Amino acid sequence: MKGNKGVSASRQQGVKDIVPLSHCAIDPFYYLCPAHPQSMKFVYNIGILILNLLVRLAAPFNSKVRLWVNGMKDWKTKLSNAANPGNRNIWIHCASLGEFEQGRPLIEALKKEKPDVSIILTFFSPSGYEIRKNYQQADYVCYLPADTPRNAADFISAVNPALVIFVKYEFWNNYILELSRRNIPLYLISAIFRPDQHFFKWYGTFFRKVLSRFQHFFVQDRESMELLSGIGITNVTVTGDTRFDRVARIAETAKEIHQIKQFRGEQKLFLSGSSWPGDEAIVAEYINRYPGRMKWIFAPHEIGAGNIERLEKLFTTSAVRFSQFSEKTSDARVMIIDNIGMLSSAYRYASVAEVGGGFGAGIHNILEAACWGMPVMFGPNYRKFREAVELIELGGAKSFRNYQEFSDILDNFLTDGSLYLKAAETAGQYVRINTGATSKIMAEIKQKI
């Protein structure tokens, strides 16, 4: 389970070693205590069953949920046919697409270093699975079955992995317990921890127990290592974030996109990547006031027809979809990318980038833009993202809370050449000096395969 929510699963284990079960006979309400292992085991497993039921009830009314339900059909048969437990299998789990981008450099390094291993790649979210279900470097890609004890045992038996890698912050308790029982090494890569997480609270015994089952932690920063050290976990290495390696590789191998190059022409280009309604409204207001200052591209996070139509209605100037672009429409001021997979290469044509999500749960991948050496802008919900905080401190990125702040920042970049160049150079250099996490992780885990 993702983030703090998933860690609650860890309460199934650990406390029985320090809390006598005889207390339960004295106080029947003890089972309701959130610190009681048997109580939390029951609550967690019942919660998983209820969640599965709710998901199946919601499937007819929600396309993403329906994708998940359909993707889980006959998973045991499909997995048994695809994964030979006699192979040297490595199981890599990513919650969604963002975590996949962190795991991808390691997958590709593993296949290069150990071409005979088989990669079993799992996702929790449809947004990850549906986009990467045909990823060529993986030998089999599937959804992770619901975290019940039976599913965990059956899945691990079918795969029989030599080792397992979870990306960033996945803590599915039954899977972790089953791996521990079978002495299969489990690693967490590109991990980042914060003081407000349950692991570091006075009531966090159960949460800390689940961490004790990992073979090793490869964390993004020293603060995470110090937090883990404070609760007695020392099998930790600070390697940084593997996304830096990924975006550096993208910059080296990016393809030309002739339509965008033609659309931009000799003008400057502003690209709003992974955009959401909150930031789109602000950027669109600026465009409507000053359409001729730059060319403008949006790559919305959701590319469904309804969302594209909504976005088009924001503009009072001419707009064209990428799929409909031609020489006749090259004088349009706005382009909307209506496909998936192009954004990371499209950033290369921009002078300034704005990355969406900052008015919602959190920003998307700003490194994909920064690696091209340009200033990056985003909304206010960025403080959980180390790279965003650091880039702002260094001067390579700016955050805005409203239209006026956005307008002031962009105007400064457009009119102050020295400010722009410093921000652009800072962003590019920041990515370059932070690469290398993948090779550090590989040095450790290749000994275990």
Rounded Cα distance, 91 and 161, in Å: 6
Rounded Cα distance, 252 and 234, in Å: 36
Rounded Cα distance, 207 and 15, in Å: 10
Over the chain, what is the mean pLDDT?
89
203 — phi, psi (to 5°)? -95, 15
CB 165 within 8 Å of CB 197: no
Task: Compute the half-sphere exposure of residue 57: CA atoms within 13 Å on the CB side of its CA.
Answer: 6
Tell me what pLDDT residue 54 has.
Answer: 87
pLDDT category of residue 24 using cuts at 50, 70 and 90: very low
Helical (H) or strand (E) element with 176: helix 173-181
Residues in contact with 165: Cβ distance below 8 Å, sequence separation at least 6, in sequence order: 90, 91, 92, 93, 103, 106, 186, 187, 188, 189, 445
pLDDT in tens, 405-416: 999 999 999 999
Domain covering 74-241+438-445 in this structure, CATH number = 3.40.50.11720
Segment 306-313 long-range contacts (CB within 8 Å, at least 24 positions apart): 308/336, 308/338, 310/277, 311/275, 311/280, 311/336, 312/336
Tell me what pLDDT residue 117 has.
Answer: 93
Segment 222-227 long-range contacts (CB within 8 Å, at least 24 positions apart): 223/193, 224/191, 224/192, 224/193, 227/193, 227/194, 227/195, 227/199, 227/200
pLDDT in tens, 119-148: 999 999 888 999 899 999 999 999 999 989
pLDDT category of residue 345 using cuts at 50, 70 and 90: very high
The predicted model scores a pTM of 0.79
CA nearest neighbour of 176 among 123, 212, 223: 212
Rounded Cα distance, 228 and 207, in Å: 12
Tell me what pLDDT residue 448 has.
Answer: 75
CB 170 within 8 Å of CB 32: no
Burial of 312 (0-12, 13-18, 19+ CB in 10 A): middle
The fraction of the chain above a pLDDT of 90, given in percent, is 71
Rounded Cα distance, 126 and 117, in Å: 26
Rounded Cα distance, 283 and 34, in Å: 46
Q: What 3-state class would DSSP assign to 360?
A: coil
pLDDT in tens, 194-233: 999 989 988 777 788 889 999 999 999 999 999 999 999 9
Which CA distances in Å does 155 have to 44, 72, 104, 343?
19, 12, 22, 34
CB 297 within 8 Å of CB 350: yes
pLDDT category of residue 37 using cuts at 50, 70 and 90: low
pLDDT in tens, 360-393: 989 999 999 999 999 999 999 999 899 999 999 9
Rounded Cα distance, 159 and 215, in Å: 19
Rounded Cα distance, 272 and 347, in Å: 9
Tokens of 196: 């407000």
The fraction of the chain above a pLDDT of 70, given in percent, is 91
Residue 271: strand pairing partners: 297, 353
Residue 13 has pLDDT above 80, yes or no: no
Task: Compute the half-sphere exposure of residue 124: CA atoms within 13 Å on the CB side of its CA.
Answer: 19
Q: Average of pLDDT values for 336-346?
A: 93
273 — phi, psi (to 5°)? -100, 145
DSSP label at 170? B
Burial 228-249 (b: 16+ CB within 10 A, else e): beebebeebebbbbbbbbbbbb
Residue 354 has pLDDT above 50, yes or no: yes
Tell me what pLDDT residue 14 has.
Answer: 37
Task: Provide the terminal-to-terminal Cα distance of the chain, rounded to the nearest Å.
Answer: 26
255-433 has the same fold as 74-241+438-445: yes
What is the residue extent of each domain of the chain? Answer: 74-241+438-445, 255-433
Q: Average of pLDDT values for 11-33?
A: 35
Q: Average of pLDDT values for 250-272?
A: 94
Tell me what pLDDT residue 20 has.
Answer: 32
Residue 15 has pLDDT above 60, yes or no: no
Residue 26 has pLDDT above 60, yes or no: no
Q: Average of pLDDT values for 65-81?
A: 88
Count CB-CB contacts under 10 A for residue 335: 26
Tell me what pLDDT residue 36 has.
Answer: 59
pLDDT category of residue 40 using cuts at 50, 70 and 90: low
Q: Average of pLDDT values for 251-262?
A: 92
Residue 305 has pLDDT above 50, yes or no: yes
Q: Average of pLDDT values for 289-298?
A: 97
> Looking at the domain 255-433, which fold is it?
Rossmann fold (3.40.50)
Compare 35 and 270 and report the one with higher pLDDT: 270
Rounded Cα distance, 332 and 253, in Å: 29
Tell me what pLDDT residue 194 has.
Answer: 92
Residue 31 has pLDDT above 70, yes or no: no
Tell me what pLDDT residue 438 has.
Answer: 96
